[in-house]
Structure 1
């Protein structure tokens, strides 16, 4: 089939590579310009560079326009394949090819449509994550599912771990889905919209630690915001403090959320949970921190004495 590929960052790069390795003919690539957004500088393998290396015409757009529609009509693709296309795609584009548009999304749809699905899924304690190939329609990430593959989430996995596992699914999911479509199959699995969830892009506010969260949730937030993602942060004595690693405490600690309370093992326990006053909660044992000047050190060295509070604001 003649394929036009829409994509960006490493997800798009892997998708384009899968198409180049397949029996299909990539006739044009559409990608976004480089961005300085914190999350778009991560996993930023260039789709444009890969396409140009293989002599494929590249169109760079922040969002579709009339000129792009005209150029796509000229190349007359049989199908569009998209992965990590970051802006709205109008129906005059996704309905243009005879086989429509196949979108590759890094979640197990219908859950975690939208942005940063791996981070949100890890924060929420999902047992598995994955990649879905679905046909695009008028609602974002809501079209019929062609194929879906999953991987388990381990108890110490970070978002970076899950990225590497799911990005390896892109090639087989893409090529298997295209194979089904090329074979003439047209009936696929409708999404159960009662199970759908849609998430926004991550921003600074989303990595600010709220000590009223249970320690188990905070521990997953720390793992979700592992390098190279921006670390979750709090404030100590008015200064920003990033939490690089942490575990749920073995003991249960009562008092006020955010209290710097007790040394336990290799960590320093912070009281956590909205109902911490009951004394039934585990705390968050911080093991490594990074200060505002970039120094990373064990929490037991940073917290030279117990007492005082970590807060959400200076």
Structure 2
């Protein structure tokens, strides 16, 4: 991986060519010998995964029930959408913002891993009750804000065709709390951290939740590293760390993508087939193993940022 600039230009590969498809190895060679190797490899991974994601998420038997199967398939799609967004963002002027997509990826990994541990009946009931609470909370937030927004814009409020959700929300929260208490989760249900503990993902929670929080919340370290200058002038810009941000988003986005698919591979044959593909292993190794062997897994903070202050 490159320091603050353009992504890694070249990277050693220890994978042999014996018996490999010539088109694949031509592509691998082009990526290895081109610029921004990590980013290009991630693009190949996204393209390779797409048909398998489609098989998992398209032309399914109709169901009226929100259950573990439907939610798990949705998380496969969300993981692919998020990694796609990362690869698009790092190739745009907004590449410093690519990291924001890691938050959904980290939470989805933890949530679906925990969900798959539950009894199917309990899981289905939890999903239905949680979904109702979240939908009603969304209606509540919308009805509180939009009248103010239309007023501020000096525009009449249109008919939103939504009823006051207050009573329904109280009832939905009560029903969800009863279910959570019955399972020993407390009335609020399990926190993301508790889900991670139950799923054996506490190290992932502590690292990736912190990493993604830095990207989506006001954070003085992130704000301060945008401020640059000399004795005469000051400049505020993401540019000095833009390559660092982009490489971090790509490497850890691929990490979370692979973890999410791995957690669901035994449920969906197309995903299992994807993970067994030689091409998948090669692109994954190029991004993760190559970075690790070079001691270049992206850092959240660099020693030179600290100077002698700590």
TM-score normalised by the shorter chain: which range applies? under 0.3
Higher relative contact order (CA 8 A, sep 6+): 2
- Larger strand share, 1 or 2: 1
Query: Which structure carries more helix by proportion?
Result: 2
TM-score of the superposition, structure 2-length normalised? 0.22
